[in-house]
Amino acid sequence: MLSTVRRLSRQDTLGWIGLGAMVGHPMALNLFSKTYLAHSKQPSGTDIPSFVICEQDEGRAQTFVAALKDRGGTELAARVERVENGRSVSQKASRIFTMLPNSPQVESVYLEESTGILAGLRSLPTDAPSLTPLSPIHDDSASHTLLIDHTTLDPSVAKRIASTTHQTTSGKVVMLDAPVSGAGTVAASAGLLTIMLGSPSAYATTLAMPLLQQMAREGGIILCGENGTGIGVKVANNMILAINQIALAEGLALGRSLGIDPLLLHSVIDTSSGQSWSSRVNSPLPQVPNSPGFRNYQGGFQSKLMLKDVGLALHAAHEYDLPTPLTWAAQSVYEAVCAEGEGEMATKDFRYV
């Protein structure tokens, strides 16, 4: 346990599960610090939120609290309590965010019978303030429990967990899928992410927006539809990105073989029909300043994560009998990249391809 300050009520507490260094840590840092600083500027007597974190890695947890202290001082850091599982988080917080590696971890954190988030919700008194039935005419938004998952996972799993949550709690708890996109750690740290939101209702969206805005760029929260559509958009987007990156790499390699200056070819691509986000924003060429190649492919979106997302796209396409020959080919390419150097390249930026 890290907190030594007076605990506020559950409805005044935010929780975060998963403090991965790439995105989870900077997202939670922005959410907690901006929320704290905004409330601390309110008139005297206004309750300042408390925070709960669940992170199995001791080093990550301590690093996060130290970063909070740098942002908001000792008082902010002292408002953080570390707990051991999702059950404990949902017993202590009414606004819970998760950023986890993949589908099995999300299923476990939410649905595990004894330690999951739903287990904690079931243990609360039925008349708990944050377990009142949701209503679009209910003005007290603080009285409702909100679950927001930022994980990039199987869309069918996201839908199933949301459905189970809503049914188990009789609509007293709402869950939204909110995967993120941008430029990896850089955008997450700057609070400039794009968030793709799948929400069960307009009212649930209203509850989530002020919190999500602490982590997103201006205009960067995109309402995609009902539960599962946010993650569906993310998976489809990354499927296209994965293929585009390979096409760019192959085109540049062909140009080099033909004796064409790489920067010249790159500039022509960027002003011609071959342009894409990959060429325009995140060039793989080491000669382009501030590009992934210029940074020796350190940081950014790791190749193993792109491989995971390609797998999610293939699984989703298979469920609907969609032919995806280019995506299958892309999967084999990223598998080869991740195996290179005895797996060392798996952690390189995927533009290494």
Euclidean distance between CA atoms 208 and 14, whole angstroms: 12
Q: What are phi and psi for residue 109, nearest 5 degrees?
A: -65, -35
Instruction: Tell me how many degrees the CA angle 35-36-41 measures, rounded to the nearest 5.
Output: 100
Which residue in the block uniquely carries the two structure tokens 């002020």? Answer: 210
Q: What are phi and psi for residue 216, nearest 5 degrees?
A: -110, 160
Euclidean distance between CA atoms 349 and 284, whole angstroms: 9
- Answer yes or no: are the C-beta atoms of 48 and 7 closer than 8 Å: no
Euclidean distance between CA atoms 193 and 181, whole angstroms: 6
Element (H, E) at 286: none
Extended beta strands in 83-191, E state: 95-98, 145-149, 173-177, 180-181
Residue 347 is given by DSSP the state: G
Instruction: Tell me how many degrees the CA angle 335-233-210 measures, rounded to the nearest 5.
Output: 120
Which residues have CB under 8 Å from 248's CB, separation 6+?
Answer: 269, 274, 276, 278, 279, 284
Classify burial at 99, counting beta carbons within 10 Å of its beta carbon; exposed 0-12, middle 13-18, buried 19 or more. Answer: buried
Tell me whether residue 234 is one of the annotated catalytic residues: yes
Instruction: Tell me how many degrees the CA angle 15-17-20 measures, rounded to the nearest 5.
Output: 130
Q: What are phi and psi for residue 222, nearest 5 degrees?
A: -105, 115
- Answer yes or no: are the C-beta atoms of 245 and 284 closer than 8 Å: yes
Which is catalytic among the residues 159, 234, 308, 348? 234
Euclidean distance between CA atoms 275 and 153, whole angstroms: 29
Please identify every residue annotated as catalytic.
Answer: 234
